[in-house]
Homo-oligomer: A and B are copies of this chain.
């Protein structure tokens, strides 16, 4: 056993080549790859003749706290949130590339943990998807940049702009779960001075495992994306920033109003009451305004059956980009997450 292979080996002591030698075997292969990692570029099959692409950053500080997220969680979340973007276009995810910038003292075993999270999220959420390439660089700030690819299988992409008056507004997956977990972490996963604390987070996980898992390892309904496209969805996106804000994106892009029936979100409020009872009183606000479950919000013509996994939560009406709840202006704030306005500058 050389020093590169011990648990104390870091990027700074072992170097890039040794790190990659340990990470590569963990990364999942992609069914679609004809050239995988190791050359100047990867090559993946795009049988449709088009490829869907999305990219997202996970940055230490605004996007995660190391006191709360394990390396495995970071890899899982980096895959899950990106896969949801392909699903939201009506595509079938095929592959990822992952670029990581990490401090010199980062343990290589932690990079292996990230790789395991990527692997397990792909296997659980989108079997056949793999990592076809990446980059590894030094940085003072741990940063994970994921770019994801998908195939449209001959269908039109489902944009945000296609909702029509009379359409049914429908949701696949949950709202409020990841947010409940985040609120618990900020309230209870901290030390006496209010800083994120691994011990407090561990105690919280023991009390509220489902809510914390929903935040740290979300499981968006990836297969529902292509099902929605096949089923005639007229508009779609993934709910990353909160139901009201993301619904407004469809409403504005489509030039309609969307009216949400809060009763249809009762199962989400019930889930919060069961898994995070201390948040029961604010569950209506959470399900309407908080994001990160990466569920799929879509509109369908009223005369088609909703695809499996979707439930009706409202309707589209003639209008000009407004979102209503029960026919009225929502009484809660609608601002979603803006990492520049919302980040307090703390990493943790």
**A interface residue numbers (CB < 8 A to B):** 11-12, 14-17, 19, 34-35, 39-57, 59-63, 85-86, 88-89, 91, 95, 97-99, 101, 104, 132-135, 137-141, 143, 145, 147-150, 152, 157, 159-160, 236-238, 338-341, 343, 345, 347
Contact = CB atoms under 8 A, between A and B. Distances in A.
A139 B61 contact: yes
A28 to B, nearest CB: 16
A313 to B, nearest CB: 19
Contacts of A135: 55-57
A163 to B, nearest CB: 13
Contacts of A157: 34-35, 39, 41, 43
A108 to B, nearest CB: 10
A48 B152 CA distance: 15
Given A15-B341, A41-B148, 13 more contacts: A39-B159, A40-B236, A40-B238, A41-B85, A53-B97, A53-B132, A55-B134, A55-B135, A57-B143, A59-B139, A59-B143, A62-B137, A99-B145
Given A143-B101, A145-B145, A339 B138 contact: yes
A56 B99 CA distance: 7
A187 B56 CA distance: 38
A54 to B, nearest CB: 4
Nearest to A14: B340
A95 B101 CA distance: 23
Contacts of A48: 46
A152 B44 CA distance: 11
B138 A59 contact: yes
Nearest to A341: B15
B43 A50 contact: yes
21 contacts: A12-B341, A15-B338, A16-B341, A39-B157, A40-B88, A40-B160, A40-B236, A41-B86, A45-B50, A53-B97, A55-B97, A55-B133, A56-B135, A59-B101, A101-B141, A101-B143, A104-B345, A137-B339, A138-B340, A145-B145, A147-B147
Contacts of A46: 46, 48-51
A52 B47 contact: no
Shortest beta-carbon contacts, A-B, top 4: A145-B145, A41-B54, A141-B141, A40-B88
